[in-house]
Structure 1
Amino acid sequence: MMFLGLCSVYSVLNGIGGAMVNTPCISSIAQYFQAKRAFATGIAMTAGSVGGVVIPLMLQRLFPTIGFAWATRILGFILLVLLILTNLLVTSRLPKKPLPSMKSILPYWPAFKEPSFVFLTIAIFLLEWGIFVPLTYITPYVVANGQSTSFGFYIVSILNAGSFVGRLGAGYVADRLGYVNTLIISVAFCVVTCLALWLPAGDSQAIALVFAVLFGLVSGSNLSLSPVCVGQLCGVEKFGTYYSTCWMIVSFGTLTGLPIAGQILTASGGDYTWLIVFAGLSYALAGTFLVAAKVAKLGWSITKKY
């Protein structure tokens, strides 16, 4: 982040660093929690929502006063302190293993022999297409529809505040209804909020606010439940392997989703209609593959916990 003040080409290093931090943090939670793993993961994931609330408001104040470069450097120093704390606090419950061989750090290809894992990976890939479109484009959307830039910053914080509650609530419910079951329900509501609220919002500030709150609530599960859905397909000792293998594929969804959305917006001449439809359809397809993952594992049973 500190180099962003000097260089605009930082995405590769930032992405690698984020992946190297995220994977062991999520894996360590799975080692300590079995009965209430979803709720524990949801609590940990709320940190991302806190950052999503605080950072836009912080940058909004810093950009006019100290400029872009120093604002991003300050953000980098904050992240540095948090990463130091992370390295001190995140530990493994499992015994230490010898240094990994090259084979052990490669994707675990046998996981793809399991249909449920394949369907789940595709579903999470599509969730990445769906979730980051509203998170990224809600600000330019409201500004393009006549709202102030300040409101654009605030609505992102409001969305992330809703996500804070959603991540906690989804984790609590998922431990009782099942991880995939809860994610399917959440994704269905994401489709509804995108197509029934965001699509017709136009220049209505009230509808945009309602969308931000409700989408935050129902989309919070996208990030907090996806890891535990993958984790129930393997033992604790293989969770990190399954998780990293899944996200190796999913990362291409993260990489391509926003460029595709941007091209749709450009081709539409700045009209957000088809961009929003793209987000809604991505969610609808993700829900379909989540259902397929459950059917592949348990058969056609609505009531079974999964």
Structure 2
Amino acid sequence: MESNGEDQGGTRDSNKKPSGTVENDTGEISDPWKCLMIICNFVVLSFCLGLNYGLWPLVEGLESYYEEYNYNRDQIDIKWIVYINISMVGITAPVASALVHRVKFHGTRIAAFYGAFLSTIGLFLSGFVRSTGALCATYGVITGIGYGLLLTPCIGLLPMYFRTRYILANAISFTGTSLCIFYVPSLFDYVAQTYGKHSTFIILACLNAQLLVMAALFRPIEQFSSESSPKFLDRCKRLKEKLFSDYEKALFRTIITSMFFIGVGYNILLLHLRQFAMYNGTSDTDSRIVLNVCGVFMIVGQVVHGVLTLSEKVRKDEKTYKRVFYSLSLFGVALVSLLSSVADSFAGHAALAAIIGLGSGMYFPLAFVLLRYSLTVNGDSRLTGALAFGLPIFGIGALIGLPIGDLLNEVTENYDCSFFLAGAALMVVSFTFLLVDYKLRRRESHSRKSTESDGKTAQDDNDGLNANNTTEVTEF
């Protein structure tokens, strides 16, 4: 099933070359362009997916900042600016995907440029507003839409440059999200104490402006030829037929559904990890160290699972190993989250953060890899089309799961509840994925045996026919 999609996708991808790129004698895209795309993805992902988790400590301190300067504060919880931003990043993915596919040859660059511009404007305006409602509009909505328009073409562009070793390239790109968790809180603390908390958003807008350069470096991709390009409605109809009629797309439907639960578990664990440590008596400084430990081990998980795919043994059966890495890392994070109440000291929370970071660094990038390899339209892999399904589900999961986690914590006055919710959500994903994967393996095995049996029967029939012909010739 999956290998067929990979082979077809790889064959078709080999015929697509970014316009303007320099190729070597073998027809491969030159290494400088590959390195440039990794750098662009690294920077874009650090802002689009990592900024909220690094910005979280600053957001927690904004409430006292508003009250301190006697501004009229809305009844909206200040944490909603991050919740809305995460959800808008996902919900905007269908718009970005449609723009990429509708505007031939330049849709990727146009969508990314609009996203970089909107996100910069949203961050700049956030430095001047004086209410949480306005912050929800500027940082939550405007910046979130900008990041959504930028994220989808960014992730979808990378596999076009890496027809081989895509998992490693994707893993390196995602280390940008972990670095934000590691160094951004300390950087923002210094800037907030030196220039004021509102000035932090203005400085962040200046840093975010570099995404305009990244968007300009995105090379357009020839996704459809002018002769064979189907109309948009025809493409949607064919996609619908494949998603809901072909049993082999069960893996794709499973991953799309699991994005909701990942949106719940992944965001709760990263955003509540520091508060959970402080609730159990860890000091503010030590709780920041716990968050840094999580970021460091996320980098380790991302690099390790990418490097392992270079080994000869893994490359021979890559589809099996990436499923194993995905399911085991999910199960490990889910189990530790369910047992989080055991951590009652700084060392315990540091160990908890290390395991969560290591597992999250593996399963979160692999979710997009599996999404890419599980969807083929007319024999051609379309990651941007798959993201139009997966990222909105992820954003909705975050928008629903994070407030529920906060509500459980407030009602029970115990942060264990939100970790139980996150662990249960990830455990559902782990067991569902293993079940579907097991059924697909059995079906593949049965199909392979049937093919071999039919081939053997045909061979026996041919041997019998040849024997009869030989006998007739002998009798004559």
Structure 1 pair 56–295 and aligned structure 2 pair: CA distance change class (3 A): same
Measured after TM superposition, the shift of residue 111 of structure 1 is 5.3
For residues 436 and 189 of structure 2, what CA distance do their matches in structure 1 show?
A: 42
Does 2:402 align with 1:258?
yes
Structure showing greater radius of gyration is 2
- Tell me the equivalent position of 1:178: 321
Give the deviation of 1:97 after TM superposition.
Answer: 6.5
Cα distance, 1:61–1:298 mapped onto 2, change above 3 Å: same
Name 2:361's counterpart in structure 1. 220
The partner residue of 1:91 within 199, 219, 227 is 219
User: RMSD of the alignment, in Å?
Assistant: 2.7
In the alignment, the residues of structure 2 paired with residue 300 and residue 284 of structure 1 have an alpha-carbon distance, to the nearest angstrom, of: 24
Query: Relative to 1, partners in 2 of residues 1:179 and 1:96: Cα closer, same or farther, differing over 3 Å?
Result: same
Conserved 8 A contact 2:296-2:357:
yes
Sequence identity, in percent?
A: 19
Paired residues of 2:259 and 2:393 also in contact (CA < 8 A): no
Task: Quote the Cα distance in structure 1 between the aligned partners of 2:308 and 2:341.
Answer: 29
Does residue 426 of structure 2 align to residue 283 of structure 1?
yes
Hey, what does 1:32 align to over in structure 2?
Answer: 161
Q: Which runs of 5+ in 1 are unaligned?
A: none
Q: Which residue of 2 aligns with 1:17?
A: 146
CA distance in 1, matches of 2:440, 2:394: 21
**1:59 and 2:188 aligned:** yes
Deviation at 1:214, TM superposition (A): 2.0
Q: How many residues align?
A: 298
* Post-superposition CA distance 1:13-53 (Å, at most 9, x none): 23222221111111111112233211110011111111221
Q: Higher RCO, 1 or 2 (CA under 8 Å, sep at least 6)?
A: 1
- Give the alignment partner of residue 174 of structure 2, picking from 29, 42, 45: 45
Change (3 A) 1:242 1:110: farther
Q: Cα distance, 1:156 vs. partner?
A: 1.8
Q: Distance in 2 between matches of 1:262 and 1:273?
A: 11
Change (3 A) 1:285 1:96: same
| Cα contact 2:168–2:309 (8 A) shared by 1 | yes
Q: Residues 43 and 167 of structure 1 are in contact (CA less than 8 Å); yes or no, is this contact kept in structure 2?
A: yes
Q: 1:57 to 1:101 in 2, by over 3 A?
A: farther
Distance 2:193 2:411 in 1: 33
Do the aligned partners of residues 299 and 264 (structure 1) sit closer, same or farther apart at CA in structure 2, a change above 3 Å counting?
farther
Amino acid corresponding to residue 151 of structure 2 in structure 1:
N
Determine the structure 2 residue equivalent to 1:8.
135
1:124-163 alignment, distance < 5 Å: 124-163=259-298
Unaligned runs of 5+ in 2: 1-122, 315-319, 446-476
Does structure 1 retain, via aligned residues, the 8 Å contact 2:338–2:424? no
- 2:437 aligned to 294, 299, 306, which one? 294
1:245 and 2:389 are equivalent in the alignment = yes
What is the identity, as a one-letter code, of the residue corresponding to 1:264? L
**Contact kept in structure 2, 1:23 and 1:240, CA below 8 Å:** yes
**Inter-CA distance 242–166: structure 2 relative to 1 (3 Å threshold):** same
After the TM superposition, which of the residue ranges 137-146 and 288-297 deviates more from structure 2?
Answer: 288-297
CA distance in 2 between partners of 1:48 and 1:104 (Å) = 37
Report the Cα distance in structure 2 between the residues aligned to 1:110 and 1:19, rounded to whole angstroms: 27
- 1:199 — aligned with what? 341
TM-score normalised according to structure 2 size: 0.58
Specify the code of the residue in structure 2 equivalent to 1:265: N
Counterpart of 1:282 in 2: which secondary structure? Answer: helix
Aligned residue identity for 2:383: F
Matched, 1:112 2:112: no
